[in-house]
Amino acid sequence: MRQIIAFLSKAKRYNKSLTLVIVLLITACSPEPRVLFTVTDTDFSKGYRMHEQQVTIDDMALFHGHLCDGLVVGALAMEQVMKQMYPNEAIDRTNLRVVSAPSPCLTDVAIYLTGGRYQFNTFYVDDNPGGIYIVQRIDDGRTFRVGMKPGVKPSEIDSLGALAVQRKLSPEELDYLKALEDDFTEFLLQSDAVELFDVEALPDFQWQPHLRGDFLKTDVLNK
């Protein structure tokens, strides 16, 4: 970026209109991130809840280790829940607890976006939460479950993914699986997420945390 600015300031001397065109092009090439959340947190270790910030799918990828279809599925699913939970306002990461399906990608999105953590009784993993997440507001108890609609995810990703977990795929087959997942990621990011997920209210949900440490971290098995 520094080089671009230096180049622009030089170009400015020669041709102001050229500079304007280049600036407009750069701006046009930097659209708002597709997945963007506004969250609110406390402002220091013992502070008030007044620290608002924005996080993107790229931030979640840094935390998670890679950008993948699971990360995008989780983020878009959470986006649909938050439309119900915090419509037109920041997600309060001091006021949520979450149950997640066990995938390493989904669980990372869950704790990142809700602030839920196992050690504070605001996060646990369930083999079958009946979808992807169950999210509950602590202050009013409102609870929603979100799941992906049937048929959205290509079945080949699941069948090859199951073989990959058993370490039965060759390097070429792993490359092919990655290409499938990358295509699916792109499809997700281009889609209207309302069409991809079902969100339902769970008025009678019971919070029943349990600690399990034997889930497979499937994204490191072939490392």
Chain residues binding Zn ion by CB under 5 A are 68, 70, 105, 219
- Residue nearer to Zn ion on the CB measure, 168 or 217: 217
Minimum distance of Zn ion from residue 68's CB (angstroms) = 3
- Residue nearer to Zn ion on the CB measure, 92 or 108: 108
- Residue nearer to Zn ion on the CB measure, 92 or 219: 219
**Four-point Cα dihedral 93, 79, 189, 172, nearest 10:** 70
- H/E element holding 72? helix 69-85
Radius of gyration of the chain (CA): 21
Minimum distance of Zn ion from residue 69's CB (angstroms) = 8
Minimum distance of Zn ion from residue 90's CB (angstroms) = 26
Closest by CA to 167, choosing from 107, 106, 218, 104, is: 218
Residue type, 45: S
C-beta of residue 80 within 8 angstroms of C-beta of residue 188:
no
Residues 6+ apart with CB under 8 A from 79: 35, 37, 193
Query: How far apart, in whole angstroms, are the C-alpha atoms of residue 9 and residue 43?
Result: 38
Q: Is 168 exposed, middle or buried (0-12, 13-18, 19+ CB in 10 A)?
A: exposed
Minimum distance of Zn ion from residue 89's CB (angstroms) = 29
Minimum distance of Zn ion from residue 105's CB (angstroms) = 3
- Residue nearer to Zn ion on the CB measure, 50 or 220: 220
- Residue nearer to Zn ion on the CB measure, 95 or 107: 107
Minimum distance of Zn ion from residue 102's CB (angstroms) = 13
- Residue nearer to Zn ion on the CB measure, 138 or 169: 169
